[in-house]
Structure 1
Amino acid sequence: MDGTQGTQGAHGTEPALGARGTRSGAGASPYGPADTQRFDTEEDKRPGRTAFQRDRARVLHSAALRRLAGKTQVVTPGTRSPMWDASPRTRLTHSLECAQVGRELGAVLGCDPDLVETACLAHDMGHPPFGHNGEQALDDFASDCGGFEGNAQSLRLLTRLEPKRFVHDPRTGDLVSVGLNLTRAALDAATKYPWPRGAHPTDPHAVKFGVYADDLPVFSWAREGAPGDRTCFEAQVMDWSDDVAYSVHDFEDGLHAGHIDPNCLYAEPEREEIWAVAIGRYVPADTDPQELAAALDRLIDQEWWPHGYDGSAVAQARLKDATSQLIGRFCLEAETATRAVYGPGRLGRYGAELVVPREVRHECAVLKAVADRYVMQRAEQEALRADQRVVIAELAAALTARAPEGLEPHFRALFDQATDDHARKRVLIDQIAALTDASARSLHAALTARRG
């Protein structure tokens, strides 16, 4: 389906493209009626808003977004560093910061800013308690029913689990949820990995995927007209904004907390450890360490770099300025490189690819690796992660033995409606993924204390 076909969406007044993936003039909108369509057609209660403004409002007011306030980003919420009495960033604060970066970058490139902000707000909604550590533990539990992946879980929340709109199933007459009932373009923009498990375009063993088997119908609907496995332009802006936000802010938090010593970035043995973390994890395995060394040196050589950070008020101000400078640098380089290829005009959907220079990706990757090496790899963090894996595994076992006991009413109803063991297990996974770090520990304590 191209951008001129399909039923008119709730607010489909934007000019359409002649065909999806082409541009029809410098001022033409990349969005047509098919992009603003919703899975279940509905009328706007407040005329005058665009479809993408409605999408943004629905995500912003969702319970799933609020729950991110209690989910780990890097440091577990509620824990403190001896040198730092401020609250650490959570999945929610990260999502809000990602949304600010993405909205501005998308706007200067001609994307609808509400559409990009919606994707950024929604991109981490499916992450379970305890961050990527909890994600791995849940994937182990879900190995016999399709696995677990935070990005696929985000799509499931947006299209099924977050209760906003229900429709009658034409086959059974039962009321079924269509989640937030976002537009096609919003669901597509929130999809980083547009393929199911095992269908990565180049690596069948890749762990990242964007949709579970039972969610393929709505995923296929959202991807109508998409060229193969390409991500849309807005999803690429969201993805880069995510990288920018967490690389810069994790580095900032690590310095502020006293975990990162600025002097270590000059010492050769320490630098080699940073390259070892980066290569294969944040940059391709064949990356030359000298490229990463050059990237770090370019950053250190900047006048605004937080040299000799000591935690004083003046140093904190310099660090905050460095944070702004880094974000501006990474976004401006992507904007400039993209414009050099596509020229002026509005970019969006499948009419362009975001261009991020290799050197800039290396600078971003180095910041990630520094935070990884000095914050995430601390001994106390590994001990905490081991305990978190035990909590998830024991909670999953307890729910398996006791369900529907322990399930929230919403998930209890889904459990009762499930038609087989795999479907019931998926409900247990959905329940655990919805928990915050604190509520996962609380439910684990309640269920394991009552064994036998």
Structure 2
Amino acid sequence: MDASDLYDDAARERLVEEPPKRVDAPIRTPFERDRARVVHAASSRRLAAKTQVVGPQSDDFVRNRLTHSLEVAQVARDLSRALGSQPDIAETAALAHDLGHPPFGHNGERALAAISAECGGFEGNAQTLRLLTRLEAKTFDGDRSVGLNLTRATLDACTKYPWGIGEGPFPGKFGVYADDRPVFDWMRATQPGQRRCLEAQVMDLADDVAYSVHDVEDGVVAGRLDLTRLDRAAVAEATRAWYLPDVADETVAEVLDDLARIDIWPSTPYDGSRRHLAALKNLTSDVIGRFCGAVQQATFAAAPGPFVRFRADLVIPEQTALEIAVLKGIAAHYVMQAADRVALLGRQRELLAELVEALIDRGPDALDRPFADDWHAAADDAARLRVVIDQVASLTDASAVARHARLVDGAVASTP
């Protein structure tokens, strides 16, 4: 049986029914069409100029949001296929999972969250849903854009946090704004509640796996950390502060010992040679395989399947979750918390706050045409603030800096 046959008509349904494709067009499943729509979306292209951890302008080796998303998609597709679910759904969710991230990565997300309290907050995952169902226009329902008009199964797989602000188990994490609730309710009509579909769980795990392994790889190549000389106490503290509040130093030390027993874990400092670069890439591949293999085995052991939608859940062994968190803790300590990064992060947040204020003051004349139209249609100040947040979130790192220079620095320079 083809994996697509495990998904019913409700899973294939789109918010707006679409006419059949031309008879001479390539024959594709609905889920393959979803993938193509995300690949061709303008917001996907913008990811190439948005920060992953280190700004994309800082080095031509480090990952940006686009390369990260491509790597997440590869991990998600392979794991989904191994589980017997539809790989196009998990891959599309992975390709889309960061579309809602604003300039400057998670730092920009925190800045916009602080600014947008009066219009319902900001969260990158809720912004992704908004892009897919409204802002990234491909299909219209009368006078209203319904975004890419993805199938229910694909859209649900893109939803990491299927609840509104203040409704879920994780403070500050949510997947839908109040004015996007109608399409969210349509998407969740066949599975109310807060349970995530299996494909969303695969996407989320793939994100964590790629994040943990590749950020460490980038840190090694950038000379920010040496895997043969880790400050274990500092890594434990960063792991607690960022990911696992209750993890003990001893547990982190045990996890680091287990990772160091991987056959190709480095025994000498990285020297930038092709041999060391190849060894580092092979280590990355082995660790990803270690994580995904453990999850696949645990998932198969827990339920008979089929592993699609809401018929099963992904099982992540405790040891695997610990290893992922500790690797992320390494990157947090040596990269995100580095002194030069901390100063830069503060300036980035100031820039976005100043840019939002300038756009509110200038109004539609300073907005791109789609957002200017939204401004004119907005009913109150909160709705207009949401329009400005949408505009700023759509920008790349470079375009945010350029627009700030034009609207803020230029305005200051022209003041007598």
Same fold (TM over 0.5): yes
Q: 1:317 to 1:156 in 2, by over 3 A?
A: same
Offset of residue 68 of structure 1 = 0.5
Among candidates 140, 145, 149, match of residue 177 of structure 1: 145
2:385 matches 1:411: no
Equivalent residue number for residue 19 of structure 2: 43
Among candidates 345, 369, 383, match of residue 343 of structure 2: 383
In 2: Cα distance, 1:264 partner to 1:87 partner: 23
Equivalent residue number for residue 59 of structure 1: 38
In 2: Cα distance, 1:337 partner to 1:289 partner: 27
In 1: Cα distance, 2:4 partner to 2:154 partner: 19
Read off the aligned partner of 2:153 and give its amino acid letter. Answer: A
1:99-178 to 2 correspondence within 5 Å? 99-168=73-142, 175-178=143-146
Offset of residue 391 of structure 1 = 0.7
Read off the aligned partner of 2:56 and give its amino acid letter. Answer: P
In 2: Cα distance, 1:43 partner to 1:187 partner: 20
Equivalent residue number for residue 313 of structure 1: 274
In 1: Cα distance, 2:31 partner to 2:164 partner: 26
Offset of residue 61 of structure 1 = 0.3
Read off the aligned partner of 2:364 and give its amino acid letter. Answer: P
Offset of residue 44 of structure 1 = 3.8
Unaligned runs of 5+ in 1: 1-13, 16-26, 81-85, 169-174
Offset of residue 219 of structure 1 = 0.3
2:403 matches 1:431: no
TM-score of the superposed pair, with normalisation by structure 1: 0.88
Contact 1:188–1:223 (8 Å) recurs in 2: yes
Contact 1:406–1:443 (8 Å) recurs in 2: no
Read off the aligned partner of 2:400 and give its amino acid letter. Answer: A
Offset of residue 146 of structure 1 = 0.3
Equivalent residue number for residue 94 of structure 1: 68
In 2: Cα distance, 1:393 partner to 1:307 partner: 45
In 1: Cα distance, 2:375 partner to 2:264 partner: 55
List per-residue Cα deviations over 1:98-123 (Å, max 9, x = no partner).
Answer: 00000000011011011110100000
List per-residue Cα deviations over 1:23-76 (Å, max 9, x = no partner).
Answer: xxxx89431000000000003423621010000000000001110111000001
Q: 1:163 to 1:28 in 2, by over 3 A?
A: closer
SS in 2 for 1:140: helix
In 1: Cα distance, 2:294 partner to 2:267 partner: 23
SS in 2 for 1:405: helix
In 2: Cα distance, 1:281 partner to 1:376 partner: 10
Offset of residue 77 of structure 1 = 1.2
- The number of residue pairs the alignment matches comes to 408
Read off the aligned partner of 2:104 and give its amino acid letter. Answer: F
List per-residue Cα deviations over 1:267-307 (Å, max 9, x = no partner).
Answer: xxx20111111125222x23333222211111111111122
Aligned-pair Cα RMSD in Å: 1.5
Equivalent residue number for residue 157 of structure 2: 189
Unaligned runs of 5+ in 2: none
2:167 matches 1:199: yes
List per-residue Cα deviations over 1:335-361 (Å, max 9, x = no partner).
Answer: 011011124x53110011101100011
Read off the aligned partner of 2:219 and give its amino acid letter. Answer: G
Equivalent residue number for residue 301 of structure 2: 340
In 1: Cα distance, 2:132 partner to 2:185 partner: 14
2:60 matches 1:77: no
SS in 2 for 1:404: helix
Select the structure that is richer in helix: 2
Equivalent residue number for residue 33 of structure 1: 9
TM-score of the superposed pair, with normalisation by structure 2: 0.95
Contact 2:228–2:266 (8 Å) recurs in 1: no
Read off the aligned partner of 1:247 and give its amino acid letter. Answer: S
Among candidates 195, 203, 207, match of residue 238 of structure 1: 203
- 4+ residue runs of structure 1 moved beyond 3 angstroms? 27-30
Contact 1:30–1:351 (8 Å) recurs in 2: no
Contact 1:29–1:346 (8 Å) recurs in 2: no
2:256 matches 1:296: yes
Offset of residue 227 of structure 1 = 4.7
Read off the aligned partner of 1:36 and give its amino acid letter. Answer: R
In 2: Cα distance, 1:77 partner to 1:286 partner: 33
SS in 1 for 2:366: coil
Q: Percent identity?
A: 53
SS in 2 for 1:262: coil
Contact 2:259–2:265 (8 Å) recurs in 1: yes
Offset of residue 317 of structure 1 = 0.7
